Structure 1
C-alpha cells in the first residue's frame, strides 16, 4: 500500500483472477474506457465524481452505482445519464421509489425527444439490501470509488480489494476501522486515496523512497471555529457547525471538520496508507486551503501539492491514475498576489487531534471504537441531544473505558464486536 513507489517500478497487478475478469468484461464491451463502479453516488463525493466523469466520457464508463436510496430522483438521473447496468440501494424499502423514478425519468426523456440509449433501454437492474454495495464492489471493473460515509464502507472496501479491483478510497472510516485487515489485502498501488490531504501526500511521494521521508505534514483549514477557545464553542449549534468556510461536504464529515475529529482520523489514515510512524506525522492549520499537504525529506527539502480547494482534483487523480484528467477543476491563478498562512493546532480548544494520535498508536480495535462512538455522538449533536463540546468529552470517556480490550489478532468479527460495544456504551452515556 506504500505510495512511495519509485517511478521505474511497474504498477503491481496483484490479483490474477480480478485482472482476468476485468479483461473479459472490457472485451465484451469493446471499449478502451476505464470502467468504474461508484459507491455512494448521490452523496457529495459521488456527485462530484460524476461531474468529473461527465466531462470526460471518452475516458470513463460507469458500470454500476450504489446509494442509500434516500434520493431516488437523483439516482435515476445518474443511472440514465451514465447508462449503467446495475443500481444498488441500501434500503430495500426504497426500491419501489427508485424503480418509479427510473421509469418517470426515462419517459420524460422520451417525450423530450432525447436520442439516448439510456432513455430507450429497459433500465438498469436494481438490487437492494445492506450488502448491495459490497456486491457491486466485487464486480469486474477497473476501479471502485468508495464514497460511502461511515464504517459501513468497510465491507465494500474489503470486497473490492479481494476482487483485485483498484480502490479509489474516499471512505476513510473503512481504513481506520479495519486498518490491518485492509492492509493485509491491499497490493502496492491498489489503493488511491481521495481525501485531498492524502491525495497530496500520494502525489508528493511518487518517485521518492520512504526512508528518505522526515515527516508528513497534513494541512487543516481550521474549520468554522478557528481561533475560538473551548469556552467560546460551548453553545455551538448544528447550523453553525455545518457552515464550513471552504469545503462542501456531507453533515457528518462537516461536523468532524468543525471540531477537528476529521483531521485526527486523517492522521490515522496517513499512518496506515504510507506506513509512516505517528511521530513523523504533523498537523498544521492552513486557512487558505491551497497547500493540501506536504512531505518533508531528510535533506531539508519539502514537496507540497498545491491546488484550488476542490475535491474534484483528488477525485480525478484517483479515477485516472497514473494519467491526469484534463480540466478536473480550475487551476490557481498565479498572476495574483496571495498570502499563505500556517499555524499550529490549538490542542486546548481542539483536543480531538491529540486523542486521535493516542487512539492510532494503541491500534487494535481502538480506532474502530473511536470512529463508532464519534458517529453516534455526531448524530446526537445534529439531533440536538448533545452539546458540541460534549462530542469530544464523550469520545475520551469511551476510549478510556475501552483501553486494554483490543485483541492480539484483529479480525472482522472483533472489529464489528468493538463497534457494537462502542455504539451501545455511547448510547448509555447519552441517555444518562
Structure 2
C-alpha cells in the first residue's frame, strides 16, 4: 500500500459528521441516481434536506417538480437555452410563490458544488462531472460520488485535492467494498473482489461475440441502465473502470484487485482479509442502499432498500472471468498502471466506439480492438504533478477523434453484406 495516511474512501473516517438533518446538493437530479436519491430524501425528511439541484436541462418539467417537492434554494441547468422552459415549468409548479434561484451554463453545476451544504451527491454522467467533483472537494464538502468518470479521467487531480475519507462511493460495487472494509484495518486486507453480473453474453466465446447485435447487447439480465453503461456491462468495460476506481479509492495495488462473475448480482463485492476471512456485502439489486450509504454515512438509513427473504431458497453462483472473450478488464489494469491521462484516453475512446457500435458502424469485438489500438497509439501519458484539467481534456479530445477515425476505417474495410 502507499504511504498516504488513509485512502480517499475510508469507512473508518466519518468526514465532517454532523448531528441532525444533513443538507445535500444533488448534481444530476433528473438522472437515475438523482431521482432515486430524491425519493430517499422524501422518505426521510428528518434526516436529509436537499438545498440545490442541477441537471443537464433536457427534463425541465421533472426538475421543476423536484424543486417544488424539496423547496430548494437554487436550481441549475447546463443548457442555457433551457432556462425559459425551466422558468415556465417552475412557474406552473410554484404558482404565486417565489421561484428558486436559477443558474445556467456549463459551469453551473460546478458553482453549485461549492454552495453551503454537508454533502454533494455527484450523479452526473460523463467526464463533465470532473469539474464539480474537484470544486466540491476544494470547498471541503463530503462527496457522495456516483460519477465514476471523475476518478477515471482525473484520478491524480482528485487524489491531490481530497482529504482522507472525504469521498463516499455510491457505485454499488464500491459501496459494498466500503462497507466490508469497515471490518478491518488496511493492513488486514489481502485483496478486493469486485463482482460482475457477466452481462448478457456471459459464457460466450470471443468467436461467438463477433456478430452480436446492439439490441442483444442492450438486453441486460439484471440492471436497467442507459445505453452506454449497458454496452459497457456487455463488454465488461464497466468492470475495468471499477478496478481502476477501486485502486484509486482504497489504495490497493492492481494485482490485489480481482474480478469474479456473479450472475445473480446479489453480492456486490467482497473483501478478503489476511486471516482467510472474506466479507461480502449483499442486497437484492437496488441502488437505494448505496445511495443511502453515500449521503448518510456513518449512520444507516432504516429501510433504505429491500432486504432478502431468507425463508425463500436461492442459489448464488460465482465464475472466473474469461479474459480472452472480455479483454477489457486486463486493458483497464494496464491503463490504470500507466496512470496520468491513459485512463482518460481509454474511457473516451470506449465511449466513441460504443456510439459506433450502436450506430452499426463497428462490430461488438471491434469496440475493444479499437480502444486497444487507441491506447497503444497514445503512448506515454501525461502524468505526475504537472497534470492539469486541460491535459485531461486534450487527451480525451484526441482519443475521441482517433477512435472515430479508426471506427470509420474499420467500417469501410468490411464487406458490404457485413455493413448491411
Structure 1 length normalisation: TM-score?
0.89
| 1:65 and 2:42 aligned | no
Deviations 1:287-340 (A, max 9, x none): 111111110011111111111111110000111111011111110111111111
**In 2, Cα distance between equivalents of 1:333 and 1:164:** 40
Q: Which residue of 2 aligns with 1:420?
A: 397
Deviations 1:213-250 (A, max 9, x none): 11000000001111122232233333322221111222
Q: Which residue of 2 aligns with 1:2?
A: 7
1:137-152 equivalences under 5 Å are 137-152=113-128
- Which of these residues, 59, 65, 77, is aligned with residue 65 of structure 2? 77
How far the C-alpha of 1:423 sits from its partner, in A, is 1.5
Q: Which residue of 2 aligns with 1:156?
A: 132
Deviations 1:31-71 (A, max 9, x none): 94211110111111111111111111111111111111111
- Could you say if the C-alpha distance between residues 5 and 244 of structure 1 is closer, same or farther in structure 2, counting changes exceeding 3 Å? closer
1:88-103 equivalences under 5 Å are 88-103=76-91
**3-state SS of the aligned residue for 1:211?**
helix
Q: Which residue of 2 aligns with 1:339?
A: 315
- Could you say if the C-alpha distance between residues 378 and 5 of structure 1 is closer, same or farther in structure 2, counting changes exceeding 3 Å? closer
1:396-411 equivalences under 5 Å are 396-408=372-384, 409-411=386-388
How many residue pairs get aligned? The number is: 403
- Could you say if the C-alpha distance between residues 51 and 11 of structure 1 is closer, same or farther in structure 2, counting changes exceeding 3 Å? closer
> Tell me, which stretches of 5 or more residues in structure 1 are unaligned?
14-18, 24-30, 108-119
**In 2, Cα distance between equivalents of 1:244 and 1:357:** 24
How far the C-alpha of 1:397 sits from its partner, in A, is 0.5
**In 2, Cα distance between equivalents of 1:3 and 1:304:** 21
**In 1, Cα distance between equivalents of 2:136 and 2:10:** 22
Deviations 1:64-110 (A, max 9, x none): 11111111111111111111111111111111121122222334xxx
- Could you say if the C-alpha distance between residues 170 and 4 of structure 1 is closer, same or farther in structure 2, counting changes exceeding 3 Å? closer
**In 2, Cα distance between equivalents of 1:100 and 1:384:** 39
| 1:222 and 2:198 aligned | yes
| 1:352 and 2:328 aligned | yes
| 1:317 and 2:293 aligned | yes
| 1:170 and 2:140 aligned | no
Structure 2 length normalisation: TM-score?
0.92
**In 1, Cα distance between equivalents of 2:266 and 2:356:** 33
**In 2, Cα distance between equivalents of 1:249 and 1:351:** 22
**CA RMSD across the alignment:** 1.8
How far the C-alpha of 1:284 sits from its partner, in A, is 0.0
**3-state SS of the aligned residue for 2:201?**
coil
**3-state SS of the aligned residue for 1:303?**
strand
Q: Which residue of 2 aligns with 1:369?
A: 345
Q: Which residue of 2 aligns with 1:198?
A: 174
Deviations 1:115-156 (A, max 9, x none): xxxxx5222221111111111111110100101111111000
